Amino acid sequence: MTSTQICCGRRGWLKAGAGTGAAVLMAGIGLRTEDAEAASLSQAQRDALTPDKIIEMMKQGNQRFRSGKAKPHDYLAQKRSSAAGQFPAAVILSCIDSRAPAEIILDMGIGDSFNARIAGNIANKDLMGSLEFACAAAGAKVVLVMGHTACGAIKGAIDNVQLGNLTGLLDTIKPAVAATTYAGERSSKNAAFVDAVARTNVQQTIDTLRSGSPTLSDLEKKGQIKIVGSMYDLSNGALTFLG
């Protein structure tokens, strides 16, 4: 079986998406037919997806990425099909780290997701405004907060780094350092502690979104969106959704 058949073909998609309508199954992120995979999501395709289905598609996309079976992307065709309008299924809030590019990690194409990136994947009012636009105005159904292992911003918060405007950003992360229960060495040199703080920080960001954005929390309470956390492992390429 070729990689194209594995990652993009009708068989693989139907196998992955048993129980859902075939038209929808073949429409979304990384799940297009051979003919349609070069196109971005249409409004009808995006609107037919549920938050849970989109999360499942993200998991499948990460599995393709980490197993070296990412689908071939025709970016020019995706650009053409999305130029007149965008209907992304999700908005991702992730770190600026060069090793954690969300669209690649999730095997997404142009037009599949909004992507907000800031050191340490924190939330502030401007970022919440961006996420509110993505969900309430543009129809995205999943807010994915993505932390990652060995995060320099987390290390900086642990070490109390002082550097220009970065100091204030790290102040936003510091409550996650204090809130992380950890029995071993609480040092930036301890990778396990750094990653534990990063997980706490993801949850802290989600708490900030829910408490600081009535727009997002109301959409979540109505079941129109889901806000989920995740951690990306730089070593093995796995994106783990936090429960």
- Only segment of 38-46, 50-58, 87-95, 202-210 that touches Zn ion (CB under 5 A): 87-95
Residue span 177-206 as binding mask against Zn ion, x where in contact by CB under 5 A, dash where not: ------------------------------
Q: How far is the CB of 152 from Zn ion (least distance, A)?
A: 5
Q: Which of 37, 56, 97, 195 touches Zn ion (CB under 5 A)?
A: 97
Is 133 buried (19+), middle (13-18) or exposed (0-12) by CB count in 10 A?
A: middle
Residue number with CB closer to Zn ion (169 or 225): 169
Instruction: Find where tokens 């093995």 sit.
Output: 236
Residue number with CB closer to Zn ion (29 or 231): 231
Q: How far is the CB of 191 from Zn ion (least distance, A)?
A: 13
Supply the angle between the helices 166-179 and 191-212 in degrees, to the nearest 10: 100
Q: Is 103 in the site for Zn ion (CB under 5 A)?
A: no
Supply the angle between the helices 214-221 and 191-212 in degrees, to the nearest 10: 90
Q: Which residues from 138-167 bind Zn ion, rule CB under 5 A?
A: 151, 153
Determine the size of the site formed for Zn ion (CB under 5 A): 4
Residue number with CB closer to Zn ion (134 or 194): 194
Q: Which residues from 5-34 bind Zn ion, rule CB under 5 A?
A: none
Q: How far is the CB of 218 from Zn ion (least distance, A)?
A: 30
Helix H or strand E encompassing 166: helix 166-179
Cα gap 126→130, rounded to integer Å:
6
Q: How far is the CB of 216 from Zn ion (least distance, A)?
A: 23
* Long-range Cβ contacts of 158-161 (<8 Å, 24+ apart): 158/186, 158/187, 158/188, 158/193, 158/194, 158/197, 159/188
Q: Which of 49, 89, 92, 95 touches Zn ion (CB under 5 A)?
A: 95
Is 77 buried (19+), middle (13-18) or exposed (0-12) by CB count in 10 A?
A: middle
State the DSSP code for 133: I
Using alpha carbons, select from 125, 129, 177, 184 the residue that is nearest to residue 151: 177
Q: How far is the CB of 158 from Zn ion (least distance, A)?
A: 13
Q: Which residues bind Zn ion (CB under 5 A)?
A: 95, 97, 151, 153
